[in-house]
Amino acid sequence: MHKALLCLIVLLSCATPAWALPVCPEHPIQLAYYEYAPFYHDGAGLDADVVDELKKRSGCGFSTILMPRARIWKSIEVGMLDMTVSGIETTERARFGYFYHYILQKNFALVSRQIPGDIHSLQDFIARTDLRWGVVRNFSYGEYYDPLLKELRRQNRIHELPTQIATFRMVQAGRIAGMLAVPMIYKELLPEMQAEAAIHIADWAPEDLPVRAGLVLSRARFSDAEAQEWGALIDAMNRDGTMLRLLEKYLPQKEAQAALPQKCKAPPGQSGTRKCASY
């Protein structure tokens, strides 16, 4: 009898996840997507895949809505939303949100082919006061680019648009000189919009590290312990091959592996490593 009970305990322990499952709230979790193909468009994309996996692993119900990015951040801050996806952490956002990363992507400059040939960086661009740049409203483009974009805002040379697609169209039409985008976005949108002939792709920050994006939880709706349980689910997906499988739906295998959160190498000339995930 004791031997049978011991075997049952061993079997149960093997079937139990190594992380504590989140306690589901009484109401469906309120989560907002934003239009950002192929992360999310018409109910499908990487973000939708991640949420489907979270539903399966947590057993919790979700209620989802499509919202503009600027409105999402405000709703997360004041506690009108529980979660959002593909969020990039900044010092300001960390005050009102928990961030658990599931993708790394580097920003590239997408510039009009009419741009002067002596411009090879955003610093060069800033020096040309006749040119305007495009951004998606309330987007962060990472630690390297955000301060430079702030300077362009100070000069009143930023054109803010509601979606990434709208920004692509402005560059394609020559109404702005350039924008920033990650490969997963421009590799789908440029061919779809037949914009390859009008837009040149350049790495204007070769030493910059990838930008981290992931699940965001409102600090107004979750305690530290509750948030960590959801973070453990993302961590498990990153480790057990699930995120790699999802990324490979949208990226070639080598690029998908590079996009998986992991410890990143430090920039040249700096020692140590910069952590790229919540491990």
What are the structural domains, with CATH classification, of the chain? 27-105+211-265 (3.40.190.10), 108-202 (3.40.190.10)
How many residues are present in the chain?
A: 279
Compute the distance between CA of residue 261 and CA of residue 214 in angstroms, rounded to an integer.
Answer: 10
Is the CB of residue 221 less than 8 Å from the CB of residue 82?
yes
Give the pLDDT confidence score for residue 16 in this predicted structure. 40
| pLDDT recorded at residue 18 | 52
Q: How many CB atoms lie within 10 A of CB 194?
A: 9
Burial grade of 110 (CB within 10 A; 0-12, 13-18, 19 or more)? buried
Q: Where are the alpha helices (DSSP H) in the chain?
A: 2-15, 46-58, 69-78, 91-94, 122-127, 142-154, 164-172, 183-192, 224-239, 242-247, 253-259
How far is CA 253 from its chain centroid? 19
**Would you state the structure tokens that stand for residue 22, as one six-digit string?**
């989140």
Residue carrying the six token digits 């139990």: 16
Which conformational region is residue 12 in: left (phi greater than 0), alpha (psi within -120 to 50 degrees), or beta? Answer: alpha
pTM: 0.84
Handedness of CA 178, 180, 184, 185 (dihedral sign): negative
Cβ neighbours of residue 188 under 8 Å, at least 6 residues apart? 37, 38, 250
Instruction: List per-residue pLDDT tens for the chain, 279 residues long.
Output: 445 444 444 344 344 455 578 999 999 999 999 999 899 999 999 999 999 999 999 999 999 999 999 999 999 999 999 999 999 999 999 999 999 999 999 999 999 998 998 999 999 999 988 899 999 999 999 999 999 999 999 999 999 999 899 999 999 999 999 999 999 999 988 998 888 889 999 999 998 889 999 999 999 999 999 999 999 999 999 999 999 999 999 999 999 999 999 744 434 443 333 444 332
